[in-house]
Amino acid sequence: MMQFKNVLAAAALALGVSVPAGAQTTEDDGLDYKPYPHMFVGVQGGAQTTFTNYDNLKLITPTASVSFGAFFTPVVGARLHFNGWQNKGGFKDATQDFKYDYKYATSDLDLMLNLSTLFGKKNYYPLNVYLIGGIGLNYAWDNDDAYANKNLMPLAYKNDRLSHNARVGAMLDWNLMKNLSLNLEVNANSLGDRYNSKTNGKDDWQLNAQVGLAVKFGYKKKEVKEEWATRVDTIWYDDVAYTPRVEDGTITWNVFYEIRESDFNDPDAQLANIGAFLKDHRECKVTIKSYADVQTGNPKINMGYSQQRSEKAVKALVDAGVDPSIIKAEYFGDTVQPFAENDKNRVSIITATGLKDVKDKYTVKKYRTKEVRYRVK
For the cut 80, the answer to whether the pLDDT of residue 216 exceeds it is: yes
* Domain of residue 260, CATH code: 3.30.1330.60
Residue 266 shares a structural domain with residue 180 = no
User: How far is CA 286 from each of CA 283, 325, 349, 352, rounded to the nearest angstrom?
Assistant: 10, 9, 10, 4
| pLDDT at residue 341, as a whole number | 92
Q: For the whole model, what pTM was predicted?
A: 0.54
Mean pLDDT in residue range 158-166: 74
CATH of the domain at 211: 2.40.160.20
What is residue 53's predicted lDDT score, i.e. its pLDDT?
52
* More confident: 191 or 244: 244
pLDDT of residue 198: 45
> Could you tell me if 174 and 258 lie in one domain?
no
Q: Which residue has the higher pLDDT, 255 or 57?
A: 255
In a domain, 338, yes or no: yes
Kindly state whether residue 375 falls inside one of the protein's structural domains. Answer: no
125 in a domain, yes or no?
Answer: yes
Question: In whole angstroms, what is the distance from residue 100 CA to residue 98 CA?
Answer: 7
187 & 317 share domain: no
pLDDT at 283 over 70: yes
Q: Which of 3-12, 106-115, 197-206, 265-274 has the lowest mean pLDDT?
A: 3-12
Higher-confidence residue of 20 and 121: namely 121
Q: Quick one: pLDDT at residue 286?
A: 94
* 164 and 265 both lie in a single domain: no
Residues whose CB is less than 8 angstroms from the CB of residue 73 and which lie 6 or more positions away in sequence, other chains included: 18, 22, 23, 36, 37
Q: Is residue 229 part of a domain?
A: no
In sequence order, the β-bridge partners of residue 15 are: none
Q: Are residues 318 and 283 in the same domain?
A: yes
Residue 112 belongs to a domain:
yes
In this prediction, residue 109 carries a pLDDT of 96
Question: pLDDT category, 7, cuts 50, 70, 90?
Answer: very low
- Using 50, 70 and 90 to split pLDDT, how confident is the model at 18? very low
User: Is residue 202 located within the same domain as residue 247?
Assistant: no
Domain boundary, last residue among 161, 187, 221: 221
Q: What is the pLDDT of residue 30?
A: 72
Count CB atoms within 10 A of the CB of residue 231.
9
pLDDT for the residue 205: 80
Strands of 282-290's sheet, edge to edge? 228-256, 347-375, 282-290, 327-331
Encode pLDDT of 55-78 as tens digits: 556 678 899 999 999 999 999 999
Examine the domain organization and report whether 59 and 182 are in the same domain: yes
Q: How far is CA 328 from CA 227, 250, 262, 287, 324, in A?
A: 81, 15, 18, 5, 8
Do residues 172 and 276 share a domain? no
Q: Is residue 118 one of the residues assigned to a domain?
A: yes
Q: Contact at 8 Å (CB) between 86 and 113?
A: no
137 and 253 fall within a common domain? no
Give percent above pLDDT 90 in the chain. Answer: 44
The per-residue pLDDT for 4 is 41
Q: Does 196 share its domain with 56?
A: yes
Domain end marker among 170, 192, 221: 221
| Residue 36 resides in a domain | yes
158/26 same-domain check: yes
Of 221, 248, 280, the residue at which a domain comes to its end is: 221
Within a domain: residue 374? no
Nearest to 139 by CA among 69, 87, 80: 87
pLDDT one-digit tens code per residue, 302-353:
999 999 999 999 988 898 888 999 999 999 999 999 999 998 999 999 999 9
Residues 261, 216 share a domain: no
DSSP character at residue 152: T
Q: What is the number of structural domains in the chain? A: 2
Nearest Cα to 44, choosing from 192, 162, 187? 187
Per-residue confidence band for 262, with pLDDT thresholds at 50, 70 and 90: confident
Q: What is the mean pLDDT of the chain?
A: 82
Residue 52 domain boundaries? 2-221
